[in-house]
């Protein structure tokens, strides 16, 4: 019997056909780290569940011949144990869909069978699939082989059903040079050395998705420790770099134990390896039992790492280990639910960091991410948290701050609404019910709804299935608060949408608090429900979105805004609430819903601000204002305005760390000094040069501790010009001499800070040199205000005429993958242009002085 199905029917489909289901993979790989090639075979135990003469699976950039494929099954209608081996009539690789279509001609028997495929491939340099990373050992350049399969690149290493729902077990065997370390998801059960090669066999894994499979082959040292229940945890680093891995090791052991308690479920594998990879496209990757990281996300070196680097290690480790439960043990059913994995892991990584290091107050720093998510989702070209994926090429477009940060923010909002204990019990139930299987977003909502009794599905659908978020406008009228919601758009234009908004508000005190759901476009609340006393009602401040737990903005009328300014000046409000007022006000100003003059009046309330949470956001705002006002009034600057604003905190912090100072103050010092350097504060530039010269003479000088190096490097570059190249050339020398990836990253992010366009161009060209790893080049693209035109000309030149590798980079990423990103970038350009135009008009209409005098006038305000 023949089944009349055309191969054309498999093309352009969002998912693989369901007539074959993989159960077990037996993978053998032999990478050659000299030729950068690999050979392999895979034997896939699968179950044919529907009539078909085809087997369709994923494969990309692999060489597979017709004679390399066979399908074995027990002979039909036979009483003996003989097996029948079938060869496909035709083997087709559909490159645009990355599928392998095997046409066997006749209908395959229903039931179990074994699909065997032999293949060859290349260890690429694109940091995806099975690829090559380079490192130095004893002054000799060497290669290591690494995998990066998420979201859909396992198919570049072996043919497979490369979809998250197609979970199976994996048995892996590697043939590698005998002197190298070879790690995979599971522990080694046997090593056989024959001459220069060894065959390494690993335990069979529990069921998992293909994107969680991992292999690393190279020269490594490691440090190890056991958890309280005997799980062996190791951190693998380049030879000679194990000491910087010890902090991450300690964090990993403590985090595993924390998560086992939080999820009420033990870690499911016998070991956990974490590996630092020199060339790595992502910050980190949660492969089951073999987590990979870029070096800056895993290694903490007291001599070269900043306090912020240390915190980054904690967040990265906590994020990836959360995936061992939320992603690997319980896996998204389809990529539409990618946000659930990433948003949850982002949220719980802060929860873990807060439990491990409560003195760091990391939830206040989560707001750095939160404001980034609000910025992205304020674009018309945003997308819903849940996006229907119609083709594998669309996946890259949703791996962004909407999936990660907005996802984490709405989970935080929901946890705040339901309560921490209820939320934790619901998660434990969810993990237990869906362990070793797949789940959808609605499955989590159902678990939370069942435990809490709240309408979680209805509430959360308004946040995950439509893009954007509301701005809640509030005004006071006859001692009543009137609320109204509408979609916020950064362009200032009208947007559609309605949300179920968990409103939290305080009136005059954090003790006078009210929570309710805003389920319609408008609502009214009598202030007498919150506080008594006519005089208090007339002057009491009102703060919505307490501690910024809700993913929305707030617009206050003039009366309420004036009360809040007074509350900020008198330090009645928490740092998170001061941040929320600042960020919302600036966003409304950018959207041309608030004048720049009124925004500056609000800034007056922050002149004595000392909190990291607020100042870090204010510094980001200052850079944006500086660039946009430069477009509105070329040749002018608001530098003096912001120097005055930041000097108070700079003088309090000083250059040297103080005994017993907080984690946040230590991080803030470098940010404030960097801002002063960017704006050209003369005393800062002079002191930075003094410390830099001492550092050049003695790399271990206490005058240039890691937390202020970025500020000093930027300050040095602000004085560099074509006629004064000393600082630039000195930084390049430091870059070439150091083996610290964090120090290299710090220098690269400073080199383009010069006001001289010629130096900026030279620094940009350096980014494309062989001295800079591919993933690090982007660090130097944050050029000085004066270098923007140079950078744009350079980018156009480089993209179309410069290096072949740049053209290949863009060619390998189809337009569909970057279409949304390009549209978002263009929209941001329009928003900035409209704001600059509005600002220019405001100057003409309301201020009679030339712009050069305006900054002096504004400084008087401060």
Euclidean distance between CA atoms 349 and 316, whole angstroms: 8
Q: Phi, psi (5° rounding) for residue 575?
A: -60, -40
Cα distances (Å, whole numbers) of residue 400 to 280, 341, 583, 762, 771 = 17, 13, 21, 31, 29
Euclidean distance between CA atoms 154 and 162, whole angstroms: 7
Measure CA of the first residue to CA of the last residue in the chain; give whole Å. 86
- How many CA atoms within 13 Å lie on the side-chain side of 345? 28
Q: Other CB atoms closer than 10 Å to residue 505's CB: what's the count? A: 21
Closest of 481, 478, 489, 470 to residue 557, by C-alpha: 481
**Six token digits for residue 168:** 């199976």
Euclidean distance between CA atoms 407 and 377, whole angstroms: 11
- Report the DSSP pairing between strands 181-184 and 215-218: antiparallel
Exposed/middle/buried for residue 301 (C-beta within 10 Å: 0-12, 13-18, 19+): buried
Cα angle for residues 748, 753, 757 (degrees, 5° grid): 115
Residue 705 DSSP one-character state: -
Residue 616 DSSP one-character state: H
Contact predicate 385/410, CB 8 Å: yes
Euclidean distance between CA atoms 564 and 560, whole angstroms: 6
**Six token digits for residue 541:** 């401040």
Contact predicate 107/49, CB 8 Å: no
Exposed/middle/buried for residue 700 (C-beta within 10 Å: 0-12, 13-18, 19+): exposed
Exposed/middle/buried for residue 826 (C-beta within 10 Å: 0-12, 13-18, 19+): exposed
Q: Is the dihedral of CA 542, 546, 548, 550 positive or negative?
A: negative
Q: Tokens 């319980």 correspond to what residue? A: 330
Cis bond upstream, residue 151 (ω within 30): yes
Euclidean distance between CA atoms 38 and 31, whole angstroms: 4
Q: Which residues, other chains included, contact 35 with Cβ-Cβ below 8 Å and sequence gap of 6+?
A: none
Contact predicate 504/515, CB 8 Å: yes
Instruction: Write out the DSSP string of 663-693.
Output: HHHHHHHHHHHHHHHHTT-HHHHHHHHHHHH
Closest of 146, 156, 122, 153 to residue 217, by C-alpha: 146
Euclidean distance between CA atoms 342 and 344, whole angstroms: 5
Exposed/middle/buried for residue 835 (C-beta within 10 Å: 0-12, 13-18, 19+): buried
Which of 61, 163, 286, 320 is the catalytic position?
Answer: 320
Phi-psi region of 475 (alpha: psi -120 to 50; beta: other; left: phi over 0): beta
Instruction: Give the three-class secondary structure for 216.
Output: strand
Task: Decide if 656 is catalytic.
Answer: no
Euclidean distance between CA atoms 111 and 46, whole angstroms: 8
Euclidean distance between CA atoms 585 and 581, whole angstroms: 6
Q: Tokens 């027990």 correspond to what residue? A: 74
**Six token digits for residue 159:** 């043919």
Exposed/middle/buried for residue 7 (C-beta within 10 Å: 0-12, 13-18, 19+): middle
Phi-psi region of 240 (alpha: psi -120 to 50; beta: other; left: phi over 0): left
Q: Tokens 């690829």 correspond to what residue? A: 131
Q: Which residues are catalytic?
A: 320
């Amino acid at each position: 019997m023949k089944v009349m199905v055309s191969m054309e029917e498999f093309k352009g489909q969002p998912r693989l056909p369901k007539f074959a289901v993989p159960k077990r993979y037996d993978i053998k790989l032999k990478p050659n780290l000299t030729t950068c090639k690999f050979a392999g075979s895979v034997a896939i135990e699968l179950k044919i569940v529907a009539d078909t003469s085809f087997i369709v699976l994923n494969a990309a950039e692999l060489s597979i011949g017709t004679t390399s494929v066979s399908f074995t099954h027990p002979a039909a209608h036979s009483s003996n144990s003989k097996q029948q081996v079938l060869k496909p009539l035709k083997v087709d690789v559909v490159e645009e869909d990355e599928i392998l279509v095997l046409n066997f001609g006749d209908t395959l028997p229903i039931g179990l069978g074994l699909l065997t495929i032999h293949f060859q491939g290349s260890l690429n340099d694109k940091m995806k699939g099975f690829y090559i990373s380079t490192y130095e050992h004893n002054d000799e350049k060497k290669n290591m082989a690494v995998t990066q399969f998420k979201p859909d690149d396992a198919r570049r290493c072996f043919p497979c059903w490369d979809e998250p729902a197609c979970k199976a077990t994996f048995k892996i065997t590697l043939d590698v040079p005998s002197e190298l370390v070879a790690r995979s998801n599971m522990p080694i059960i046997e090593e056989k050395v024959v001459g220069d090669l060894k065959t390494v066999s690993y335990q069979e894994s529990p069921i998992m998705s293909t994107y969680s499979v991992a292999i690393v082959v190279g020269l490594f040292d490691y440090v190890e420790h056991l958890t309280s229940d005997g799980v062996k945890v190791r951190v693998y680093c380049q030879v000679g770099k194990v000491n910087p891995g010890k902090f991450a090791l300690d964090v990993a052991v403590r985090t595993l134990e924390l998560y086992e308690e939080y999820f009420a479920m033990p870690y499911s594998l016998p070991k956990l390896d974490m590996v630092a990879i020199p060339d790595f496209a992502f910050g980190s990757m949660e492969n089951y039992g073999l987590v990979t990281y870029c070096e800056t996300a895993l290694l903490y070196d007291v001599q070269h790492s900043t306090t912020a680097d240390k915190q980054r290690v904690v967040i990265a480790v906590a994020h990836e280990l959360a995936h061992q439960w939320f992603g690997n043990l319980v896996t998204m059913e389809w990529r539409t639910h990618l946000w659930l994995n990433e948003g949850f892991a982002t949220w719980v990584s802060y929860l873990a960091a807060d439990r491990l290091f409560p003195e760091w107050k990391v939830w206040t720093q989560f707001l750095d991410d939160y404001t980034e998510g609000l910025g992205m989702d304020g674009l018309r070209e945003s997308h819903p948290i849940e996006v229907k994926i119609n083709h594998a090429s669309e996946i890259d477009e949703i791996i962004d701050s909407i999936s990660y940060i907005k996802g984490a923010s709405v989970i935080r909002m929901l946890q705040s609404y339901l309560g921490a204990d209820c939320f934790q019990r619901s998660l434990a139930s969810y993990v237990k019910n869906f362990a070793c299987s797949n789940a959808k977003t609605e499955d989590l909502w159902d678990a939370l709804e069942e435990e809490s009794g709240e309408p979680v599905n209805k509430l959360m659908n308004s946040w995950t299935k439509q893009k954007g978020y509301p701005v809640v406008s509030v005004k006071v009228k006859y001692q009543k608060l009137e609320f109204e919601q509408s979609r916020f758009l950064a362009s200032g234009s009208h947007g559609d949408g309605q949300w179920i908004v968990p409103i939290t508000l305080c009136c005059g005190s954090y003790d006078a608090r009210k929570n309710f759901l805003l389920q319609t476009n408008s609502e009214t609340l009598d202030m007498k429900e919150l506080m008594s006393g006519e005089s208090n009602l007339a002057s009491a401040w009102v703060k919505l979105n307490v501690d910024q737990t809700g993913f929305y903005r707030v617009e206050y009328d003039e009366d309420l805004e004036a009360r809040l300014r007074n509350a900020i000046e008198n330090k009645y409000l928490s740092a998170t609430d001061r941040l929320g007022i600042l960020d919302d006000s600036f966003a409304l100003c950018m959207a041309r819903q608030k004048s720049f003059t009124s925004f500056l009046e609000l800034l007056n309330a922050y002149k004595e601000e000392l909190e990291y949470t607020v100042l870090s956001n204010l510094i980001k705002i200052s850079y944006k204002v500086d660039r946009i006002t430069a477009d509105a009034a070329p040749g002018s600057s608001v530098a003096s305005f912001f120097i005055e604003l930041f000097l108070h905190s700079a003088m309090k912090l000083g250059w040297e760390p103080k005994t017993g100072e907080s984690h946040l103050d230590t991080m803030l010092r470098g940010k404030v000094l960097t801002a002063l350097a960017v704006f050209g504060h003369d005393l800062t530039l002079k002191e930075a040069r003094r410390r830099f010269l001492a550092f050049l003479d003695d790399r271990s000088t206490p005058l240039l501790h890691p937390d202020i190096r970025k500020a000093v490097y930027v300050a040095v570059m602000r004085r560099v010009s074509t006629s004064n190249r000393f600082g630039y050339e000195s930084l390049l020398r430091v870059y070439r001499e150091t083996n610290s990836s964090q120090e290299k990253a710090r220098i690269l992010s400073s080199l383009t800070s010069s006001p001289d366009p010629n130096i900026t161009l030279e620094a940009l060209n350096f980014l494309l040199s062989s001295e800079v790893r591919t993933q690090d080049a982007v660090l130097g693209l944050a050029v000085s205000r004066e270098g923007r035109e140079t950078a744009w000309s350079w980018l156009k030149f480089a993209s179309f005429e410069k290096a072949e590798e740049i053209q290949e980079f863009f060619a390998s990423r189809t337009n569909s993958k970057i279409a949304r990103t390009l549209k978002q970038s263009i929209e941001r350009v329009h928003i900035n242009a409209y704001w600059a135009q509005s600002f220019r008009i405001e100057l003409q209409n309301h201020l009679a002085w030339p712009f050069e005098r305006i900054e002096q006038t504004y400084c008087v305000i401060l």
